[in-house]
Amino acid sequence: MPIVKVTHNTLYRRANVHSQGCNFNCEWCSYKLKSGKQTTRFIDDMEVKKALKSLDIDRVHFIGGEPTIYPGLGELAKFAHEELGVVTKLGHSNGANVPPDHIDEANISIKTLRDDVHLRNCGIPSAVVRQNFRKAHENGVRVDASSVLIPGLIEIDEIAGIAEFVSTVDDSIPYHIIGYIPVPGAPWRRPTRQEVELARKEAGKFLKTVTMSCLSEQEWNGDPAERDPRYTNLRVA
């Protein structure tokens, strides 16, 4: 899984290290809707370090794809810690691996509690992700969790069950519920906003902080910077 670019958000004083590729093949993955081809221009760790060192930043986020399958992640995180003195975060991770040393924070997706569904789409049991989530927290990583509400597959009661699991780790861990965006060829429908709100209410019975998003397909396919300044990034490498 190669590094494809480094971007900079001046407002949030954050650099983003973007990697390409994922070790899961989820049938419901909304990134399949993103247009454009994967890049064939990759950058090595030295170029990443040079770009990061040139920036006035407080944070480095590693995003993908799945950042934990990049072999150099630990070294880049160590550089960000020891050379730059900044906070490091996995902007999103599927939980297939425990975050390496020098990662301070991680957003980990818990897709389902059911091993059969998880095995079919991800190649590993759901229990592995939950074990890695707990281990990351025990290692001192500041974790938050997310799941996708998919009517007919990942229902409201399962979202509540995931929230209950997260609460056994720490009930102060933030949890974000995402309304599914239909993927061509997949059989599931988009949830209504009311359904996502009900899922948030049910999850809130177990956790102190539960948020939600319910984007339209147009919003998902559009420029994310138009709806959220956190995504206003300038490419620097």
Tokens of 118: 């998880």
Task: Specify if 234 maps to a domain.
Answer: no
Which domain CATH number covers 142? 3.20.20.70
Task: Specify if 12 maps to a domain.
Answer: yes
pLDDT of res. 185: 87
Q: CA–CA separation, 122 vs 116, rounded Å?
A: 10
Q: CA–CA separation, 142 vs 176, rounded Å?
A: 15
Pick from 125, 128, 8, 112: which is nearest to 57 by CA?
A: 8
Are 130 and 147 spatial neighbours (Cβ–Cβ below 8 Å)?
Answer: no
Task: Specify if 206 maps to a domain.
Answer: yes
**pTM for this predicted structure:** 0.92
Task: Specify if 148 maps to a domain.
Answer: yes
The model's pLDDT over 69-101, given as tens digits with 9 standing for 90+, comes to 999 999 999 999 999 999 999 999 999 999 999
Task: Specify if 182 maps to a domain.
Answer: yes
Are 65 and 20 spatial neighbours (Cβ–Cβ below 8 Å)?
Answer: yes
Q: Which residues contact 174 (CB under 8 A, 6 or more apart)?
A: 144, 145, 207, 209, 210, 211
Task: Specify if 237 maps to a domain.
Answer: no
The model's pLDDT over 25-74, given as tens digits with 9 standing for 90+, comes to 888 887 766 655 566 678 999 999 999 999 999 999 999 889 999 999 99
Taking each helix axis as running N to C, give the angle between helix 115-122 and helix 126-138, from 0 to 180 degrees, rounded to the nearest 10: 90
Structural domain of 218: 3-228
Tally of domains in the chain: 1
Quote the percentage of the chain above a pLDDT of 90: 75
Task: Specify if 233 maps to a domain.
Answer: no
Task: Specify if 72 maps to a domain.
Answer: yes
Tokens of 219: 């919003």
What is the arithmetic mean of pLDDT over 165-177?
Answer: 98
Widest CA span in the chain: 48
Q: Is the pLDDT of residue 113 over 70?
A: yes
